[in-house]
Chain A
Amino acid sequence: MELATLLPLLLLLAWLLPLASFTLIVFAGPRLGRAGHKAGYVATGAIGISLFLSLLALACWLWHHPLTPSHHAETHAAASDDPADPTHERSEHEQSAPHTGSTASPLTGDWYTLAEFGSLRLTIGYYIDALTLGMFVMVSLIATCIHVYSFGYMHEELEDVTDPLASPSSGKPLVRAGRFHRFFQYMSLFCFSMLGLVVAGNVAMVFVFWELVGICSYLLIGFYIERKSASTAANKAFIVNRVGDFGMIVGLMILFGALGTFSFGDVAQSDGTVRKGIFSQVRPAENEHQLIVPDGLIRMAAASQMNSIYASVPSNEEAEELIGRRVAELRKVGTGYWLLVLAGLGIFCGCVGKSAQFPLHVWLPDAMEGPTPVSALIHAATMVAAGVYLVGRFYPVFAPEVLLTIACVGCITLFVAATIAITATDIKRVLAYSTVSQLGYMMFSLGLGGWAAGLFHLFTHAFFKALLFLCSGSVIHACHTNEMPEMGGLRKKMPWTAWTMLVGCLAISGAGIPAMLGMKGFGLSGYYSKDSILAQAFSVASQSQTYGWLFYVAAGGAAITAFYMFRLWFMTFAGSPRNQHVYDHAHESPASMYVPLVILAFFAVVAGWKLPSLNLPDLLEQARPLGTAEGISFAGEIAHPELPAEHRSHEETLHRTVSWIAFGTALTGFAIAVLFYLLRIFNPETVRKWLAPLHAFLIHKWFFDELYEYAFVKPTLLLSQVAAAFDRLVIDRLADGSARFCVTVARLDDVIDRYVVDWAANGIGRLTYRIGLWLRQVQTGQLRQYVVMIAVSTVALFLLIVVCRNLMLFQ
């Protein structure tokens, strides 16, 4: 079968299997075995098959498009080769760009059309390249591990559960039925949504699954629905994400309104036409895949001019011709560029929400209310990385200003989150802030042009952060508490957990031996990815001093990372037990929990290694969007970013410097942690007292929650009260008032009726009665009198006639 038909099919299957599992569990959940425990097998089986299918797909892809050793590898292999040699660069470019362009070009297509209006359509499609496949494998691999892990972790849910954290008014702990199957139901839905997000062929579909992973996250954060904190955290997560999505929608509106398509790549239609995607409109092949403002955006920005052209020319063809010329002129003066920037910022805004970047990072630590496997899968490894993934995917569309914004946001995030992590005592929250911080690194890297480095870190981080979370879950499972001050010395009780977690800590700290003495550097996965990020930052810093501070912040962040990670490990596993009760009850977790730990630890170690035919950096290099390999030198209105090409960061000298700096910072962090928490040479309490204001500031998470509470939540609620009151007090009063006015008028009417009209009517009646009384005297009842009367009347009538006649005659 051809690759172009096989791969979509495989991925479609891999994608839809979890949906099938979800559907099955929804309808048959509690009936699947005792307390629905077979639901776990269903879900795990589904995601396991997905893993298999995606591995198969990756193998097929690599079979057809074997990885070409990238620049990176070459420079390391042949250090003597001058990387700055323009001829080499040219040849590299010529070799890779056309190569990837022709043979490893992404597969695009539509599976299904949701709606279609004229030329506009909303579709469910696919965009498959090496990045997609890599993400697919990563997501399904981690998801499989975590599904297996959940068998152990969620074991309690098979019975009735006593929830000590839910607080009913009676004061007794709440006992509820277990929800084992429900957990796996949500997990399946999440896997489906996440894989859909990864495979998405257009940005609208991304948005669809963006929302779906959001709702899964909502459901899983709020899994312990009895706990107020859990449901509040779930709401917070979803609503904060929606704030980001709002920006994303604005971006979507701009792009769709101008370009008329959502597709990333060009999509062949069934009728033989090819619809141009966003990428090829923003970076057309005629322009060497460099960024230009597409026609649609220019026309949109100059809509009034377009209208007047149409109004001035009789035929449409002429108008289009004129507009074509006009657009070309306008492009020169930069019309519509701001729309492109705005669109990029909008899309990035969605990523900020999903990836918990500053200033929307507040939801992620709270999201730790969910079960730990959820934290590992959704809030560390996959979903929160989706923002980074989308930035990577949408990279060709981002203008330099946007990239700079991304970098700054990432930088701020990584620093802020790292500082907060120092003071956190909840084991999961430390990891959560570490996640935020690492996501900040990724964004930072992407924003500085380190496309491959950022995504590389995404992959490695996914492994070691999932590992860390699962380890922490294991600890929590054993200790029934999240608080690190309650733990200590657990390594003896839980060796598997302790040592795998140490691997994770080392990986996230970027442990490794830098290249020296002619030896290649060597380390855990984090070492490679973090080094390449710092290298890119250093490369930028060395080119433009304006953005030098970014590098220092990032390097400092690396030190803090090492510090708080080892603080965590030491507080938990080293030393002596602080709470003997907790220590006594602690135990190693079952095999279903520590086997996934070992698997993930393995990947946390090797994910960064450069195996010759299968390694992440080369895979990502292969997926690099067209036209982004070159550096950006841009003089804009507000910023003058100069982002060097990423392969510059692989230069030997630069890279060596950076790896030593990274090694130094990590070692510093590690050393401080050792001093404080392992050897206890310094007492953390003393330092805390010294720096009491700073500590308060950090323990309150920079007061972000309070700030948002007063800046947004309260005003919104106030505004809603105002709206409701306006309804009640103004609009309703107006309506009621007009009704009351009518009633008043009616009363007045009534008075007039009673005292004027009725009086007149009654008066006439009375008058008539009086006259009648008077006239009845005539009626004597005397027959004879009547007769006389008749006779007289006749005569009188006669006389009357005569008189009248005469009178008339006289006239």
Chain B
Amino acid sequence: MINWHTLFFLLFAVPTCLFAVAVVASANVVRMAMCLIASLAAVAGLYFLAGADFVGAMQLMIYVGGTLVLLVFGVMLTVQGPSVSLKISSANWLMAGLAGGALLIVLLSAVVGIEAWTSKAVAETAPAVEAGHTVAPLGMGLLGIRVDQLSQQDPTLRRGMSGYLLPFEIVSVHLLVVLIGAAHLARAKRRRTASTPATTAPLNPEP
């Protein structure tokens, strides 16, 4: 029977999948972007549902709010008449579909094939959802302190648990570098010589 949990799950999961498929199916890039936003927002809902409240929030903020806005900007900057919807041949479609289908089958068979992943013994007796409580541990974790592992007794396990300070730093620096790089790449290039036509010419003369 369908419980609340399942209900909410389906509530988010089905849109996720549908919008994702819509992204694939849509030919118009603007529409694709809209569907993607919807799909990712639904994924955020799934995160909440899985108890990852902070991650869900981040998903909404960064992805849906940031990345996709960026995408839309891109769409708006590049999309002109003919390239709004670039068609491909049906053979290509078939190829992609076959490959995707095969991959899906493989993935699904793996997902379904493992017993421990399908069974849920303690469905209802799970502890109360401690939404909102994950923020502080996450923050501490990023600073290198694993408060969630304090109770871990097994020394071999403990050894593997370490903080994320260093990855955090790396990622942040990485982000910085990436943004600067992106800004550099995307900046408007000044033509050095006046003789060169101002119009952007493809490097590659071939069509």
Interface residues of A (CB under 8 A from B): 784, 787-788, 791-792, 794-795, 798-799
Contact = CB atoms under 8 A, between A and B. Distances in A.
The interface centre, meaning the residue of A794, A795, A798 with most chain B CB atoms within 10 A of its CB, is A795
A792 B98 CA distance: 9
Nearest to B88: A784
Contacts of B100: 791
Interface string B81-115: 00000001000100110011011001000000000
A787 B103 CA distance: 12
7 contacts: A788-B95, A791-B99, A791-B103, A792-B102, A794-B103, A795-B99, A795-B103
Contacts of A798: 106
A788 B106 contact: no
A801 to B, nearest CB: 10
B102 A791 contact: yes
A795 B92 contact: no
A791 B97 CA distance: 11
Contacts of B102: 791-792, 795
Nearest to A799: B106
B106 A784 contact: no
B109 to A, nearest CB: 9
Nearest to A797: B106
A794 B96 CA distance: 14
A794 B106 contact: yes
Interface residues of B, number: 9
Nearest first, the 7 closest Cβ-Cβ pairs linking A and B are A791-B99, A795-B102, A788-B99, A798-B106, A791-B103, A792-B99, A795-B106
Contacts of A784: 88, 92, 96
Nearest to A793: B99
Interface of B: 88, 92, 95-96, 99-100, 102-103, 106
A788 B103 CA distance: 10
Of B92, B96, B106, most buried by chain A (CB within 10 Å of CB) is: B106
A791 B103 CA distance: 6
A181 B99 CA distance: 120
Contacts of B92: 784
Nearest to B96: A788
Contacts of A791: 99-100, 102-103
Contacts of A799: 106
A545 to B, nearest CB: 128
Given A784-B92, A791-B99, A798-B106, 7 more contacts: A788-B95, A788-B96, A788-B99, A791-B102, A791-B103, A794-B106, A795-B102
Contacts of A794: 103, 106
A287 B100 CA distance: 132
A431 to B, nearest CB: 116
Nearest to B102: A795
Nearest to A790: B99
Contacts of B88: 784
A795 B108 CA distance: 12
B92 to A, nearest CB: 7
Q: Which of B92, B99, B100, B103 has the largest count of A CB atoms less than 10 A from its CB?
A: B99
Contacts of B99: 788, 791-792, 795
A799 B99 CA distance: 13
Nearest to B97: A788
Nearest to A791: B99
A795 B100 CA distance: 9
Contacts of B103: 791, 794-795
A792 B106 CA distance: 11
B143 to A, nearest CB: 37
A553 to B, nearest CB: 123
A791 B101 CA distance: 10
Contacts of B96: 784, 787-788
A794 B110 CA distance: 13
B103 to A, nearest CB: 5
A791 B106 CA distance: 11
A793 to B, nearest CB: 9
Contacts of A792: 99, 102
Nearest to A792: B99
Contacts of A787: 96
B203 to A, nearest CB: 14
A787 B95 CA distance: 11
A799 B103 CA distance: 11
A798 B96 CA distance: 18
Instruction: Give the interface centre of A784, A791, A798 by most chain B CB atoms within 10 Å.
Output: A791
A794 B106 CA distance: 9
Contacts of A795: 99, 102-103, 106
A228 to B, nearest CB: 95
A794 to B, nearest CB: 6
A538 to B, nearest CB: 129
A432 B106 CA distance: 129
Nearest to A789: B99
B201 to A, nearest CB: 20
A247 B138 CA distance: 113
A784 B103 CA distance: 16
A185 B100 CA distance: 120
Contacts of A788: 95-96, 99
A787 B92 CA distance: 12
A114 to B, nearest CB: 88
Nearest to B105: A795
Nearest to B106: A798
A388 B99 CA distance: 127
Contacts of B95: 788
A626 to B, nearest CB: 111
A334 to B, nearest CB: 105
B155 to A, nearest CB: 34
A662 B164 CA distance: 138
A139 B88 CA distance: 135
Nearest to A795: B102
A778 to B, nearest CB: 15
A798 B110 CA distance: 10
Nearest to B100: A791
A794 B104 CA distance: 11
B49 to A, nearest CB: 28
A784 B99 CA distance: 12
A792 B102 CA distance: 8
Nearest to B95: A788
A583 B88 CA distance: 143
A787 B24 CA distance: 14
A554 B10 CA distance: 156
A798 B109 CA distance: 11
A784 B96 CA distance: 9
A712 B103 CA distance: 109
A357 B95 CA distance: 125
A795 B101 CA distance: 10
Contacts of B106: 794-795, 798-799
A19 to B, nearest CB: 97
B35 to A, nearest CB: 19
A788 B88 CA distance: 14
Nearest to B110: A798
A809 to B, nearest CB: 16
B207 to A, nearest CB: 14
A663 B133 CA distance: 158
B94 to A, nearest CB: 11
